[in-house]
Amino acid sequence: MPSGTVIETEARDAAAADAVRPRHVAIIMDGNGRWATSHGLPRFEGHRRGAEAVRRTVTAARELGIEALTIYSFSSENWSRPEEEIGQLMGLLKRFIRSDLKELHANNVRLRIIGEGHPTDPEVQGLLDEAETLTRANTGVTLTVAFNYGSRNEIARAAQSFARQVAAGTLRPEDITPERFDEALDTAGLPPLDLVIRTSGEQRLSNFLLWQAAYAELVFLPVFWPDFDRAWLERALAEYGRRERRFGGVDANGR
């Protein structure tokens, strides 16, 4: 039976999470391969178990009232992985959409894809487009899947768009404000990013939502992604609830 101190700590954590709930949470789902290695299993099994963790996390986010959940599914750098592993990852993505899309839609989840897509696999792109179209009018949690996504590329694409408008004389350079830049990014229309969670114990952003994370809270968890569940999500939310967000300002005590 847990001690009184443990019970009190858990109660404080729950209260902190409930007091300040982030609207937009992003997750770097790291550690599938290391999880598999630690269990003496092939890397593919780690990715398969990682897909199950995605299902658990989407359900938990919906039940906990999170407005937007963004997950790092496949980075633009991941194409450098072995061809066999890429094929396995694409197969998992296809199966996830085919098997889960109906349930996501029934639960009022809106699915959104950000990134550049990949022309060499039109089947994947077609499934992603179908999922977005089917769930576009849903009003529950927005699940944003970053697929073939890289934040520096995203920022460069936005800058190129502004440069073309300036060259065409339809935009003045002084009109390019941070707010306008927000609207040119893949995440336009989503709530401001409040919390970034990374699993596996690594402590870096890995080219994920660099602009959006300017004032987000970062929580790094010592758990491989396949073991991530609602309890770990609540732990991250509790940590977020304990943070004092000043956005570059000072608190009432001048700190």
Active site residues: 30, 78
Q: Concatenated DSSP letters for 108-169?
A: TPEEEEES---TT-HHHHHHHHHHHHHHTT--S-EEEEEEEE-HHHHHHHHHHHHHHHHHTT
32 is in an annotated binding site: yes
- 33 assigned binding-site residue: yes
Q: Is 76 annotated as a binding residue?
A: yes
Query: Annotation-wise, does 207 bind a ligand?
Result: no
Nearest-angstrom CA–CA distance, 225 and 49 = 8
Q: Is 138 annotated as a binding residue?
A: no
Q: Name the token pair of 127.
A: 């499934």
Q: Do the annotations mark residue 39 as ligand-binding?
A: no
225 is annotated as contributing to ligand binding: no
Q: Can you tell me whether residue 72 is helix, strand or coil?
A: strand
Q: What is the number of H-type helices and E-type strands within the chain?
A: 8, 6
Tell whether residue 35 is among the known ligand binding residues.
yes
The reply to whether 108 sits in an annotated binding site is no
Residue 91: φ, ψ to 5°: -65, -40
What's CA 64's distance to the chain center, in Å?
16
Which residues carry a binding-site annotation for substrate? 31-35, 43, 47, 75-77, 79, 81, 198, 204-206
Which residues carry a binding-site annotation for Mg(2+)? 30, 217
Which residues carry a binding-site annotation? 30-35, 43, 47, 75-77, 79, 81, 198, 204-206, 217
